[in-house]
Structure formats: C-alpha cells, structure tokens
A and B are shown apart, each in its own frame.
Chain A
Amino acid sequence: MASNAIHTTTLTPISWTRKLANHFLTFFATASSIAVVIPLFAIFVYLVIKGIGSINLAFLTQIPKPVGESGGGMANAIVGSAIILAIASLIGIPLGIGAGIYLAEYGYNKLGNAVRFTADVLNGIPSMVVGIAIYGLIVVVQKHFSALAGGVALGVMMIPMVSRTTEEMLLLVPRMIREAAWGLGVTQWKTALSITLRTASAGVITGVMLAFARAAGETAPLLFTAFGNQFWNFNINQPTAALPLQIFAYAISPFDEWHRLAWAGALILILLIVAAVTAVRIVTSRGVMKGGA
C-alpha cells in the first residue's frame, strides 16, 4: 500500500434560507396533521358532553314515548338500523368485493372501464338521489315503505365504495405473488380469492368498514325508503326506524327533551359504529399472518 492518508473535503454549508424553508415545511406538515385530528376529537367530545346524560337503560331498551310524556328511548331505532345495515351489507359487500376482484384481475377491457366509470359516477351521486331512485323502484311498486327498501338504498351506496377500494388494494399486491400461485397450477379465480384477496385483506376490510360506517350514518336515502317508525318492527317489509332518522326527527322537533335524546342517539350511533368496526377487525385478523415483507 502506498499512502494511507485520509483526504478530507469541506462541504458547502447549507444556506439559511434552505434551513428556514426546511423548518417551515416540517412545522406546516405537523400542524396540518394536528388540524386533521382536532375536528374528529372535538365532535366526539361534544357528543359525549351533550349525550352522555341521557343515556340510560331506558334509552337502550324502550321505544319513543308520545309527545308530552318524558323518558322513552331508541331501542327500536337501534334494532331497525341493525336490520337495515344487515340488508345493506348483504348486498353491498359481496357485490362490491366481487366487482373489485373483476376490475383488478380481469377488468382491463371495455367492460372493466365501463364498470369503473359507472362506479365513480355512482360514488358521486348525492345519497338523496339514491333514496329517490329506490323509492321509485321498490316503495312505489310495493306500495309501502320498508326496511328492505332502506337496506337496498344503503347497499347500492356501498357497492361503488367497496369495489373501488377492493380494486385498489388488490392492485397493490405484487404480480409475483399471483405468479407464485399460478405456477403451482392454481386457477386464476382461485388465486384471486385465496391468495390475492387474502394478501390484500387488511386493506379490503378497511374499505368495507369505511363504506359500512358511511352507510350507517346516512339519513337522506332512508327518508323515502325505510321511512321511520315509532314502534317496534321486525318485519323487513314494514316501515322501520333507524338511528339517523330518529336523530333527525328529534333534532328538528321543538322539544328540549327530544333534543337531548337526539344527542344521545348520535353518541350511541358513533359508539356502535366504532364497536362494529373494532369487532370486525379482531375477528378477521385471526388466522392471517403478518409478514415481514
């Protein structure tokens, strides 16, 4: 070896304007992310303050009392929402995931583009319009309001949300994972269901739960479909109460007690959505390995 001398070079110092810009952008990004959290947190705190006082056993187990009588609850609306959302999920989740699989795995053709375009348009249609359409298609034909019509309206709203997120999540799965399955002689549809969908499951479930939560809070599509009901109803062919409808009806009423019940209903609605989302996450995370890749 000749010389072992270490050569050093002085680097040009960073100018103060660049340092300033760096600090400013870091501050801006941090501040923005805090600003995003504040509204959600504020809404939740406000709901708790306004609603917690009216939540008691009666609220969760009784149906609304007539005007003038105090007390009563939203039990029928909680059950009604559950029935309507179950119907919506039965329609929206399988069709949405099915369409998403088609779009990601087979949909690079005219049909795929048409479906993608339709889904985007459907996603942008005001929910009230969906309600009116289902009113015309189901309520007018059957000549009565029903939980079924409400469930279909919400289900129709879920389809494009679920299908587009499913497609996007499936496209994030690298091609080499699909090829690994094809290389074992696994058919394309089986690969899509058992390998690709499973690999993307965390993201797909997030998309499904977002769509579910949005549907759970919708009021407008239910106005002309489920209609609402002051009494118990377990028949999906009858007008049915739903939490958002009940909250709406109470909130625009002139009575202070009903206003308090509306706040309590809103709080319960949010808590039930959070509970449902958490439960689904816990159940679906079983049996799925978290990889290092």
Chain B
Amino acid sequence: MGAAIEVRSLKAFYSGSEALHDVSMDMGANQVTALIGPSGCGKSTFVRTLNRMHETIPGASVTGSVVIGGVDIYADGTPAVEVRRRVGMVFQKPNPFPTMSIYDNVAAGLKLNGFRNRHKLDEIVEKSLRGSALWEEVKDALKKKSGASLSGGQQQRLCIARALAVEPEVLLMDEPCSALDPISTGKIEELIDELKQRFTIVIVTHNMQQAARVAGYTGFFLLGKLIEFDKTEKVFTNPSDKRTEDYITGRFG
C-alpha cells in the first residue's frame, strides 16, 4: 500500500544557497502527483528531498519536515538508509548496474540488504519484472544478459522493476521518460497508471502533456517555490495563479 506524504516548510540548500523556499504540500496515498516547471525551478531537488538523496551531495542540507506514512523522515534517529528502502526512486537516465545480469539488477536491493532466500528471490524478481511490464521481453535471458545490454526503454523498466523489488510505499520518478522514445514513454505511462494501485507516486516531468495524462494532482514550481498545487484538471484548465497560466500556455519556459 502507498503512504501519504506531508511536507512542511521544507527548505533545501546547496553549500548554503537556498534552492527550495519554504515548500509545504500534502500528497495523498496512492495518488499520482506530477511536478512541473521550467529547468532549474527546484522540482528535482524537491523530489530528492523525499528520500533523503539530496543530502548525499557534499554541502547540501535540508530544513523543515517531511512525514511519510506517519514517519518523520528527517527526525533524529531515522536512518536515511531506512527511508530509502521505503521510498523508491527511478532516475532521469536509466542506470542499471552495468556489471550485473538482468536478474541480479532486480534482486540487487534485496541481496545487498542481506536477503538470501533463493526461491523467494526468484518469485520477487518475476513479480517485479511483470510489474514493470518487462517480463515477457527478458524472461529467457534473465541471467545470461547484462542489464546494460537492453534498449534504453527496457533499461528504464528494469530500473523500475529494481525499485519495485524492495516493495517501497512511495515511488519517486525524476523525469523517467526524458531519455526515452515515444513508444517506451507510452509503456511507462501505462505502467504508472497500474502502479498507483500499490504505491504513492511522485513524478517530475518536463512534459506538461505527460503530467496531464498520468497525474491526479499537479504542482507547479518556479524559482524554488511551489506556486500552485491542485487537481491536475484545475491546474491545466483554470489555474489560480497568473504565473501558472503563463507557463502552461507557453508564454515562458
């Protein structure tokens, strides 16, 4: 099941300079939330604060609070590693582990965290690959082919399967289709629609039409601020902020 996300007064910094200014928003469980905005508006930074990936960059820091499924992920004593197990992430460029087979890529999260039950692993790998709609294409070469030998679109679905295998509650997607062709993009969008049954999904996208196609809610970021956050239909047809309207009608960006 997905978990709800509550963000309060979140600020993110890179070496002291503030990149996100006081963001507060609530994302419901099993909702798909799209984050849109021009390059450099902070949407990627924001999504990387939700699994504490932001702080891995030297000099980066965060203030404010993020509560996911009732757990304050920035509270003292909450280990970042534990947070990232519960909040999966799919990156902009497909990044399978290049020296591992397809099977090992999917099993990596479990194996590296000490999971050893072979039989159970087989099951989870199949379930995850079916979940990311890749199973039929790779089932005959699971252990023979390297993850890096797949096409770009297949690699991205492999990365989704890898994230699903650790059974997170939230799935973050940072422009998952920006390096993909339209057919692969279509497959991943269909997938997002299915995955929301099981996960809460936050997807950063450069593509406003994509946000309109997949997301129930949409947030518009500009210059590190959350300008507007509402039902997708409302944001695209009747935005309450002039800047949102200017962006979605193509006046800037």
Contact = CB atoms under 8 A, between A and B. Distances in A.
Interface of A: 108, 174, 176-177, 179-187, 190-191, 194-195, 198-199, 201, 288-293
A171 to B, nearest CB: 14
Given A186-B81, A199-B98, A181 B147 contact: no
Most buried by B among A179, A185, A199: A185
A183 B108 CA distance: 11
Contacts of B82: 185
CB-based closest 7 A-B pairs: A291-B148, A185-B85, A184-B109, A291-B98, A289-B146, A183-B89, A293-B148
A195 B147 CA distance: 14
12 contacts: A108-B58, A176-B91, A177-B95, A179-B56, A180-B95, A181-B108, A183-B88, A183-B91, A184-B112, A186-B112, A195-B112, A291-B96
B101 interface: yes
A184 B95 contact: no
B99 A183 contact: no
A198 B97 CA distance: 9
Determine the interface band of chain B, counting residues with CB < 8 A from chain A: 20 to 34
A179 B162 contact: no
Contacts of A293: 96, 98, 148
Contacts of A199: 97-99
Nearest to B147: A291
A186 B113 CA distance: 6
Contacts of B95: 174, 176-177, 179-180
A177 B109 CA distance: 13
* Centre residue among B82, B112, B147 by max chain A CB count within 10 A: B112
Contacts of A190: 112
